[in-house]
């Protein structure tokens, strides 16, 4: 293998077709390669018998398949699995598999840390150290499928709700999700692949031009005043702009599809009756379903999870207004695998860690205990 060999997990069908073309080969060879890799689980170019011999040789010399390294695996009492993965550059990121009766949902990371610094998210407190490659993202799905294979199962749903803001790593996320929904590769339903964003409006607009996977937005507040303090990117792209972009996106998905609204409930901050009513008013006319996520605490966060009664009350108000409203049950709590608890290990380039040194110290200790 040459030092700069191409990791083919990072190329979607179009990427492979372009690669084949530069080698003077027909584009349809890309489909043949995809089927070997994703349907037959065959990574040995030499054994891909329907490819010309010279092509196989060229691949052998110039390309490879490589996966993130599993640094640590933890299985929760409820079956949730969290992996700490080491990427090429040494960064550690997390992914979480949530098995349920009728589905296996994989929550994948798209960035090492996150730049957005939402006030209640522990990933944000880690700072940011770069993007995952498309191969790093696809690799997470390959690894989770390998784990499930031993139980005769596969990942059925993918949510880009791990570490990072997917729309700030647009090209890699697009290539990876293209492979997820390609029948020649993973073949997942486009309804079952969901990109979640804190509200990168230009990213949503761009996404609409190139894909039709599902979209979730992290709303968390019914007013700009409140959201500005929780999700700082709101100051750049306020709620009205965000909802306009989302409405256009779901229009483009067609009448049977819905936008997912994520709303993390923070005790005394955004969980009161007035907030539920405000949310119902804001979302009137938006084709959506609402996922309520009770806050998952982490050391030094300064927030608390609301009392069960408040959570249920909030849900009831929305349901009475006709919204499909799910309460996300907390999974993998014993292994810190819940939403907003994914931290990996980030060599911060934004210096945010300095501002959060105390919180970090507590969290780092948690990571050290893993080893």
Q: Report the interface residues with ligand SAH, using CB under 6 A.
A: 118, 120-121, 161, 165, 196-198, 218, 262, 264, 293, 295-296, 339-340
Which one, 106 or 121, has the nearer CB to ligand SAH? 121
In the complex, the smallest distance separating the C-beta of residue 284 from ligand SAH, rounded to whole angstroms, is 22
Report in angstroms the alpha-carbon separations of 293 from 19, 312, 364. Answer: 43, 12, 25
Q: For residue 350, with 0-12 CB atoms within 10 Å meaning exposed, 13-18 middle and 19 or more buried, which class applies?
A: middle
Residue nearest to ligand SAH according to CB distances in the complex: 340
CA distance 68 to 51: 27
In the complex, the smallest distance separating the C-beta of residue 3 from ligand SAH, rounded to whole angstroms, is 34
In the complex, the smallest distance separating the C-beta of residue 238 from ligand SAH, rounded to whole angstroms, is 16
DSSP per residue, 309-339? HHHHHHHHHHHHTT-EEEEPPP-SGGGT-ST
In the complex, the smallest distance separating the C-beta of residue 126 from ligand SAH, rounded to whole angstroms, is 12
Which one, 320 or 355, has the nearer CB to ligand SAH? 355
Which one, 19 or 219, has the nearer CB to ligand SAH? 219
According to DSSP, residue 130 is labeled E
Catalytic positions: 94, 339
Report in angstroms the alpha-carbon separations of 155 from 71, 142, 193, 327. Answer: 21, 9, 11, 22
The answer to whether 34 and 27 are in contact (CB under 8 A) is no
Closest CA to 362 of 300, 274, 297: 300
Closest CA to 85 of 108, 117, 115, 116: 108
The answer to whether 150 and 140 are in contact (CB under 8 A) is no
In the complex, the smallest distance separating the C-beta of residue 10 from ligand SAH, rounded to whole angstroms, is 21
Which one, 48 or 168, has the nearer CB to ligand SAH? 168
Angle separating helix axes 273-283 and 308-320, nearest 10 degrees: 30
In the complex, the smallest distance separating the C-beta of residue 75 from ligand SAH, rounded to whole angstroms, is 21
Which one, 29 or 220, has the nearer CB to ligand SAH? 220
In the complex, the smallest distance separating the C-beta of residue 63 from ligand SAH, rounded to whole angstroms, is 31
Which one, 108 or 142, has the nearer CB to ligand SAH? 108
Report in angstroms the alpha-carbon separations of 256 from 191, 213, 284, 288. Answer: 10, 13, 17, 11
CA distance 345 to 94: 9
Biggest CA pair distance of the chain = 68
Which one, 48 or 198, has the nearer CB to ligand SAH? 198
Q: Where are the alpha helices (DSSP H) in 150-290?
A: 170-181, 201-210, 224-230, 239-253, 273-283
Angle at 217 between CA 244 and CA 331, to 5 degrees: 165
In the complex, the smallest distance separating the C-beta of residue 249 from ligand SAH, rounded to whole angstroms, is 14
Which one, 15 or 297, has the nearer CB to ligand SAH? 297
Angle at 94 between CA 369 and CA 102, to 5 degrees: 115
CA distance 247 to 301: 32
């Amino acid at each position: 293998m040459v030092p700069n060999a191409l990791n083919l997990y990072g190329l979607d069908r179009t990427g492979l077709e372009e690669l084949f073309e530069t080698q003077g080969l027909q584009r349809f060879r890309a489909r043949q390669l995809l089927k070997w890799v994703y349907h037959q689980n065959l990574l040995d170019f030499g054994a891909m018998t329907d490819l010309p011999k010279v092509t196989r040789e060229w691949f052998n010399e110039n390309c490879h398949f490589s996966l993130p390294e599993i640094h640590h695996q933890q299985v929760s009492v409820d079956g949730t699995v969290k992996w700490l993965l080491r990427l090429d550059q040494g960064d550690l990121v997390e992914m979480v598999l949530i098995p349920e009766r009728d589905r296996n949902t994989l929550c994948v990371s798209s960035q090492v840390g996150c730049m957005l610094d939402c006030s209640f998210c522990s990933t944000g407190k880690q700072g940011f150290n770069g993007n995952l490659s498309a191969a790093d993202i696809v690799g997470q799905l390959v690894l989770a499928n390998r784990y499930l294979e031993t139980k005769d199962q596969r990942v059925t749903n993918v949510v880009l709700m791990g570490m990072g803001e997917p729309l700030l790593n647009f090209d890699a996320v697009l290539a990876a999700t293209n492979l997820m929904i390609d029948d020649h590769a993973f073949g997942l339903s486009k309804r079952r692949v969901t990109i979640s964003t804190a509200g990168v409006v230009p990213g949503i607009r761009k996404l609409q031009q190139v894909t039709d996977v599902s979209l979730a937005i992290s709303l968390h507040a019914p007013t700009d005043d409140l959201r500005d303090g929780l999700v700082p990117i709101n100051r750049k792209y306020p709620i009205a702009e965000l909802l306009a972009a989302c409405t256009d996106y779901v229009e483009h998905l067609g009448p049977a599809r819905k936008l997912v609204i994520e709303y993390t409930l923070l005790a005394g901050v955004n969980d009161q009756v007035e907030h539920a009513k405000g949310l119902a008013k804001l979302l009137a006319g938006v084709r959506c379903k609402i996922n309520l996520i009770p806050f998952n605490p982490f050391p030094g966060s300064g927030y608390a999870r609301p009392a069960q009664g408040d959570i249920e009350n909030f849900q009831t108000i929305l349901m009475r207004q006709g919204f499909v409203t799910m309460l996300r049950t907390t999974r993998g709590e014993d292994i810190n695998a819940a939403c907003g608890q994914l931290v990996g290990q980030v060599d911060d380039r934004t210096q945010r860690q300095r501002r959060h040194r105390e919180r970090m110290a507590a969290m780092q200790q948690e990571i050290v205990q893993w080893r």
